[in-house]
Structure 1
Amino acid sequence: MKKYEELTICDNFMFAKVFSNADIAQDFLQDILKIDIEKISVVSEATLQEDPFHKSVRLDVQAREGDSGNGRSFDIELQMIDTSELPKRARYYQGMLDLDALGKGVNYDELKEQYILFLCPEDIFKAGKPVYQFQNREETAPNILLGDLCYKNFYIFSKYREVTDEVTREYMQYFATQKYESERIKRIHAFVERYRNDPVAKKAYMTLEQELNIRYKKGLEKGRAETRGEEKVAVARRMLAKGMSIAEIVELVAISEAEVLGLQKEMQ
């Protein structure tokens, strides 16, 4: 992981910190989406899970408009690596956000507008556009909308020069270069500088780094243990093939009798 003092807006930890400020998130959403938004509440690094048996999702920045407004929900994701499954991830996020918004026994017509925004450095669609905006339409008559009120937008910030809207271009340029001129972007960068010098935020980052290191070491240990186990099985198979007794294999390979019997059955 990077040193804390080197973090920029393009590091997920810093991005989530900065955009956890409701004013920053709201201004960004209004500027990018060209809509008026009532006061929103923001949760950074929110985790949604339907139940313990289904995959949970961790959202970078989840925002929701108050009941006094339209009750719309927003998810802002910074995705620095093309994992080749972002469109399907957006689909899953949509479902989880709907589950989070719709309480038990509530009618479907209570679902509000939902916006899922991905900020990416590279063009994951390889079509040369700086901004991709998706909503469901009738295939043979694109003017007919499904009307599910869900919008999925992908902003390719390395292509900021090609963005026609000036305000959107300013945001995209900042993500691409960390350079800024306007007051709105200067305000975002001020939060980056503020968090770089915030000992509480730094401690949270260091704690995260320690947790990731522990997970990494556990993963290595598990992998080594699995490798050792696979090697033992391979040796036991060869010994069985040579006609050695189960007792000899158990003693020499340090493998259980039940495992040897299982291998013997597989080889018959």
Structure 2
Amino acid sequence: MHEADLERIKKFRLLDDDFMSKVFEDSECAEILLKIILNRDDLKVQDVHVQHVIHNLQGRSIRLDIYAVDLEGKLYDIEIQRDDKGAGVKRARYNSSLLSANATDTGEEYNELRETYVIFITENDVLKGNLPIYHIERVILENGELFYDEEHIIYVNSRIADETTLGRLMHDFWCTDAGDMYNTVLANRVRYFKEDVKGVEIMCKEMEKMRDEVREEAKLEIIYKMIKKNYSNAEIKEFYDVTDEEIEQIKEKMNDD
């Protein structure tokens, strides 16, 4: 284990992507998160995936921090955002549209579209209303009534960590020490990855995997630039251990984008 990784793990909070993904891949933890944010004791999570990719053949694909499905078939995209730009209103709209577009099978009727929730938990008060939570719904402007299209967007402001149930959850998101957390289930999960030998080992492996992904992304970015500057396959292969087939796949992806 790298000493730097061990120090970094000690400082992790639920607001940090690397750490959040491991904690909330557990369905019980994801269920607690949704129950508190939606104020629903009856909600039951059936399936959860972290870093879930939704492909868009006509445009930009997205990677969801937490993708969950409940027993009623409702779909949830939960995003943890420390950067205000990453939680922009157009980002919420785009995620919501792709979540809906991928919620039906070919031939299904429009009225069979599943209910969707896009939830941003933000480090800062992105919407600047000094509110703990913002519910965004479509309304009929002429009479103020809800449109009821079952497409919901929610922003949670983690800066308000008061004594409400939601406020205590947001307090827990800022904690680096499991002993300071209110929610026992979340605290135990955090403690496992920070203090248990096996849990720490899992986190170290996850961080090494992420470093490999970053290196791979950096390599691809340079290959993109070399292709744009009309470097030949042979010239690219002098710099990187890639095959002609891999280079052609990169070119095809560039054309798709």
How many residues in Structure 1 have an aligned counterpart in Structure 2?
A: 219
User: Matched residue of 1:16: which SS?
Assistant: helix
Corresponding residue for 2:134?
A: 132
Corresponding residue for 2:188?
A: 190
Corresponding residue for 1:262?
A: none
Q: 1:42 aligns with which of 48, 56, 64?
A: 48
Corresponding residue for 1:11?
A: 16
Q: 2:171 aligns with which of 173, 198, 211?
A: 173
The offset of 1:194, in angstroms, is: 1.4
The offset of 1:213, in angstroms, is: 3.2
Q: Mapping of 1:184-263 within 5 angstroms?
A: 185-196=183-194, 197=197, 198=199, 199-216=201-218, 219=221
Give the Cα separation in 2 of the matches to 1:149 and 1:120.
Answer: 23
Q: Over residues 9-42 of structure 1, what are the superposed CA-to-partner deviations in whole Å (9 max), with x where a residue is unaligned?
A: 2210211111111111112211221222134210
Corresponding residue for 1:155?
A: 156
Q: Over residues 141-191 of structure 1, what are the superposed CA-to-partner deviations in whole Å (9 max), with x where a residue is unaligned?
A: 22x111111111111111223xxx721111011123446789862321221
Q: Mapping of 1:16-165 within 5 angstroms?
A: 16-35=21-40, 36-51=42-57, 53-66=58-71, 70-83=72-85, 86-142=88-144, 144-161=145-162
TM-score by length of structure 1 reads 0.72
Q: Over residues 57-86 of structure 1, what are the superposed CA-to-partner deviations in whole Å (9 max), with x where a residue is unaligned?
A: 0000000013xxx21111111001111662
Give the Cα separation in 2 of the matches to 1:38 and 1:221.
Answer: 45
Contact in 2 for aligned 1:173/1:180 (Cα 8 Å):
no
User: Matched residue of 1:123: which SS?
Assistant: coil
Contact in 2 for aligned 1:75/1:116 (Cα 8 Å):
yes
Shift of the 180–200 alpha-carbon distance from structure 1 to 2, 3 Å rule, reads closer
The offset of 1:221, in angstroms, is: 8.2
Identity %: 21
The offset of 1:207, in angstroms, is: 1.6
Q: Which runs of 5+ in 2 are unaligned?
A: 232-257
Shift of the 206–183 alpha-carbon distance from structure 1 to 2, 3 Å rule, reads closer
Give the Cα separation in 2 of the matches to 1:39 and 1:63.
Answer: 7
Give the Cα separation in 2 of the matches to 1:138 and 1:78.
Answer: 30
TM-score by length of structure 2 reads 0.75
Choose between structure 1 and 2 for higher RCO, CA contacts under 8 A separated by at least 6 residues.
2
User: Matched residue of 2:93: which SS?
Assistant: helix
Q: Which runs of 5+ in 1 are unaligned?
A: 230-268
In the alignment, residue 149 of structure 1 is paired with which amino acid?
Answer: E
Contact in 2 for aligned 1:195/1:201 (Cα 8 Å):
yes
Contact in 2 for aligned 1:75/1:117 (Cα 8 Å):
yes
The offset of 1:193, in angstroms, is: 2.5
Shift of the 211–150 alpha-carbon distance from structure 1 to 2, 3 Å rule, reads same
The offset of 1:91, in angstroms, is: 0.9
The higher radius of gyration belongs to: 1
Contact in 2 for aligned 1:173/1:179 (Cα 8 Å):
no
Q: Indicate the RMSD between aligned Cα atoms, in angstroms.
A: 2.7
Shift of the 128–13 alpha-carbon distance from structure 1 to 2, 3 Å rule, reads same
Contact in 2 for aligned 1:121/1:176 (Cα 8 Å):
no
